Structure 1
Amino acid sequence: MVEEAMKAYRGELLQSFARLAEKLKVMNPELVVVEDDVEAKYLGQMGLKAVVEEGNAVAVSLRSRLAQELVRAELAKDASEAPSLEFEVAYEFTRRGLMGAAKKRDLLLAHSIRTVDDIDKTLNLFVNRLREWYSVHFPELNDLVDDHRLFVTIVSQVGTRDEMDLERLKSIGVPEGLAKRIVDAASKSVGADVSEHDAEAVRTFASISLQLYDLRSQLEGYIGRVAKEVAPNVTELVGPLLAARLISLAGSLEELATMPASTIQVLGAEKALFRALRTGGRPPKHGVIFQYPDIFRAPRWQRGKIARALASKLAIAAKVDAFSGRFIGDRLREELQQRIAEIKKVYAAPPKRKEEKARPPARPARPGRPPKRREGRGGQREGGRGEGGRG
């Protein structure tokens, strides 16, 4: 039963329906009502007239007395056993569906890029904390070294300012000029002295941060390999990391393939899009594809056009990756580069700003008319009674 249900879910023709169709051919009815396009097409090939009507009265009636039909087909002993059988079939159907979904490598790709994002967030927190912590001992290093990974490496591999040695710094990848400035700053540092126990705590924290950098690099390599296998055309267009991010935002490669180019263009900018729809403001021109080098390096007036061209090629690439498997990424990339070059040439100069309509001048006040004065509730009107009360 489960296997038959899985075939029906995948849109395959069931053998039981084929046998039923043979009987219908002998009966030769005027019209057959079915719930599936595959069944209607099969009946049409046999010369029978069939129409698709989902949720028709016969199907609804059959589902309402499913327990009785299971007993009649001798799949259940009695009506009390039928619910248990229905649960077992539904459970096994769901289990197999989840197993099939887990085998799709695009889901592994999506989880990998999400992990990279989580590592980036963690590293930002860790590095900022490490810089503040280490600045108690050697504050000058924070200003000298802007690169976060290099800063973490120095603290982890060298340690305290007293251990800052030119050759030691050069051995871990510090440029010679920067290494000399670090050694000079260490000899004149205004930071506080720390004990060996305190220094070891900072170095341990730096070592853990450095391991996170190494893990991120390993995941990037893994994403690069899997992305080329799962979505070679999309990867050829935008690179493995952006390809994985697009698949992650869409939910799967098939979901990305079914999206129009206009949706792919703003994928990742849903909040800005809904805010624009709600407030009547300008909609976003691009979402996560802003990370594409030719978009974020382009002048602002070219970005929307380049994003539109890229989204169109991505829509084609995703469909080919999901449903065909052919490699056309090199041709798509060449066409995209030609279109980008055309955009940069045609729209080299910024567009002229639209002139605002001149507002009509304010109406001048009429001459000779004094401005209106409002009196308080207890005020005295002109020509009214005086202070003495009644006049």
Structure 2
Amino acid sequence: MDKEEIRKKALKDTREELEEIDKIKLLMKAVKTLDQLQNNQYKEMESFRDWYNVHFPELEQEIEDDSHLLKILSDTIEKDNLDAFSELAESSTGMHLEKEDKQILEQFATSLNSKQEFITDLEDYVEKIAKQEMQNLSILLGPVLAARITHLAGGLENLAKKPASTIQMLGAEKALFRFLREGGNPPKHGVLFKHEYVSPLHPDKRGKMARFLANKAAIAARLDQYGDKNKGEDLREECREKYEEVEQE
């Protein structure tokens, strides 16, 4: 291989490396936006439910899933026009809506529906990029949680360099500082609480499982950053076995 070929190969490798880094940056921005939008959507949905409860409290209380409620109300919000819930509407204690009341509530519901559609699209995007760029971590934690913990660490390379004890606490920084300042009980986990092998456990057991999961997440991050081996399924299986063990203790 002559000098020119070596130079071209070096440039090609550098471009590929920069493209991968840029993808991680895009992923971190996307998951940050996703978290912000989901938090805002939750607050706005609470406001909508509180408002709609005045008109049709029986339906608002019966349909707990926000997406389902918005789907039901996608054509009309007036209880008398919701044929599937006619019996519920007949005995409703809710207020009648004037034209302007109906219009503004419909606009609110339409806005929430539109935002939910974008959140779903953004979540799909995050999942796709995470699976491409962090295969092991995505299998172990799920792609969205993998992206979230990478964002909290400041990037995949930073995450790969962190000890498991630090990874366990990512997302719990405020609680940790409060503990150091005021005392009390220290936090046992950060964002890893959202993992399906941590959140269902009794609070006294979550710390142990989060510690084990953080250890495996550290390995997965290093594999994704420095290695080319796909061990995500093995790591996840180890966590599943540990979860069952901790659950039975």
TM-score normalised per structure 2: 0.85
Question: Could you tell me how far 1:334 is from its partner in structure 2?
Answer: 2.2
Aligned pairs, number = 233
CA distance in 1, matches of 2:222, 2:20: 21
**Counterpart of 1:334 in structure 2: which amino acid?**
E
Q: Secondary structure at the match of 1:186?
A: helix
- Does the CA contact (< 8 Å) of 1:153 and 1:206 recur in 2? no
Deviation at 1:103, TM superposition (A): 5.1
User: 35, 39, 61: which one pairs with 1:143?
Assistant: 61
Partner of 1:95: none
Distance 1:201 1:287 in 2: 39
Give, in angstroms, the shift of residue 101 of structure 1: 8.5
Whole-Å separation in 1 of the counterparts to 2:53 and 2:182:
46
Distance 2:233 2:20 in 1: 30
The CA distance in 1 between the partners of 2:239 and 2:152, in whole Å, is 23
Matches of 1:139 and 1:343, distance apart in 2: 42
**One-letter code of the match for 1:243?**
A
1:158 aligns with 2:61: no
State which of 201, 221, 231 in structure 2 corresponds to 1:318: 221
What is the deviation of 1:315? Answer: 0.5
Deviation at residue 198 of structure 1 after TM alignment: 3.0
The partner residue of 1:123 within 41, 55, 73 is 41
Residue from 172, 180, 193 that aligns with 1:277: 180
Structure 2 residue runs without a partner (length 5+): 1-17
CA distance in 1, matches of 2:147, 2:168: 15
Higher RCO by CA contacts (8 Å cutoff, separation 6 or greater): 2
Per-residue deviation, 1:218: 1.1
**CA-CA distance at 1:247 after TM superposition:** 0.7
Distance 1:331 1:239 in 2: 14
Q: Which residue of 2 aligns with 1:295?
A: 198
Q: How far is 1:239 from its partner?
A: 0.2
How has the CA–CA distance of structure 1 residues 101 and 274 changed in structure 2, closer, same or farther, with 3 Å as cutoff? farther
Match of 2:130, as an amino acid?
A
Distance 1:142 1:102 in 2: 46
Q: Assess if the C-alpha contact under 8 Å between 2:199 and 2:206 holds in 1.
A: yes
Please identify the structure whose Cα radius of gyration is greater. Answer: 1
Q: In the alignment, which residue of structure 1 is the partner of 2:50?
A: 132
Which of 124, 127, 147 matches 1:221? 124
Which residue identity is paired with 1:203? E
* Structure 1 Cα separation of the partners of residues 54 and 88 of structure 2: 14
Contact conserved, 2:197 with 2:240, CA < 8 A, in 1?
no
Q: How far off is 1:316 after superposition?
A: 0.7
Q: 1:330: Cα distance to partner?
A: 1.4
Distance in 1 of aligned mates of 2:247 and 2:52? 47
Cα distance in 2, alignment partners of residues 139 and 151 from structure 1:
12
Instruction: Look up the SS of the partner of 1:122 in the other structure.
Output: helix
Partner of 2:138: 235
CA RMSD in angstroms, aligned pairs only: 2.1
Shift of 1:329: 0.8
Corresponding position: 1:307 with 2:207: no
SS, match of residue 156 in structure 1: coil
2-side partners of 1:218 and 1:236: how far apart?
20
Query: Amino acid of the residue matched to residue 232 of structure 2?
Result: G
What percent of counterpart residues are identical? 38
- Shift in Å, 1:115: 1.4
In the alignment, is the contact (CA less than 8 A) between 1:110 and 1:244 conserved in 2?
yes
Answer with 246-255 or 150-159: which moved more: 150-159
Q: Deviations over 1:354-389 (max 9, x none)?
A: xxxxxxxxxxxxxxxxxxxxxxxxxxxxxxxxxxxx
In the superposition, relative to structure 1, how do residues 187 and 115 fare at CA in structure 2: closer, same or farther (>3 Å)? same
Structure (1 or 2) with the greater helix fraction: 2
Q: Is 1:250 paired with 2:168? A: no
The 3 A distance-change label for structure 1 pair 341 and 162 is closer
* TM-score, length of structure 1 as denominator length: 0.56
